[in-house]
Homo-oligomer: A and B are copies of this chain.
Amino acid sequence: MREGPDIARIASLVGDPARANMLNALMGGTALTASELALEAGVSLPTASSHLSKLMEGGLLTLASQGRHRYYGLAGPQVAGMIEAITGVAEAVGPKRVRPGPRDGAMRIARVCYDHLAGEQAVAMLDRLVEKDILLRDDREIRLGPSAVSHFSAIGIDVDAKPRRPVCRACLDWSVRRSHLAGTLGAAILDKILLEKWARREKDSRAVVFSPPGKQAFERVFLA
């Protein structure tokens, strides 16, 4: 009972699955809104709000209010370091990698991350778009390149449509450990993929499964 700082209080904040998912989602470094975090955590908005209050009160998060949006972010690198340390232990003691499993494999290749595509396919797509100078990437930030508007409108995506949210955002991929494309453009691309029936969402999962012709079409449009 050497009662120094209240470590149990902090750890129990991270100890709830919903909160842990939120913190994990914020490990990418970009601040997210309450709704986004609710989706990430897989809970309802009220529940998420309650969790966010607790994380705020616990000093783990910062809040930036912008209009009616409230962006939550990690309170600092110390908090991020703590999450990393916990993740490291969890990885070390949890050799639960019995076998990747078919759905895990599919998840690794392509899955939904909030409203956009994630996984190997998504990372490859962003790489290719940057390579072709359609998008420009500095470190964590992604901007439209000069040919972006014409390129995307040619395939039926209007990049100016929704000026409220950032068009491009980098989102860290847990399976590949590299960024993929988020923001309204990322969302629009996922919409197109599903609309064109190139792929379908796996039931009760975030996995996205491409049909063979769908994959070809996707590669022709985005990876060419």
Contact = CB atoms under 8 A, between A and B. Distances in A.
Contacts of A92: 59, 78
B90 A1 contact: no
Given A12-B16, A16-B12, A86 B7 contact: yes
Given A2-B25, A4-B24, A59-B93, A10 B86 contact: yes
Contacts of A39: 1
Contact of A5 (B23, B40, B94): B94
Interface string A1-37: 1111111111111111101110111000000000000
A122 interface: no
Contacts of A64: none
- Interface range for A: 35 or more
Q: Shortest 9 CB-CB distances between A and B: which pairs?
A: A59-B93, A12-B15, A15-B15, A8-B20, A11-B14, A2-B174, A5-B90, A85-B85, A11-B15
29 contacts: A1-B25, A1-B39, A1-B41, A1-B42, A1-B206, A2-B174, A3-B21, A4-B174, A5-B94, A6-B90, A6-B94, A7-B14, A8-B14, A10-B89, A10-B93, A11-B12, A11-B14, A11-B86, A12-B12, A15-B15, A59-B93, A60-B93, A81-B88, A82-B85, A82-B86, A82-B89, A85-B85, A85-B86, A86-B86
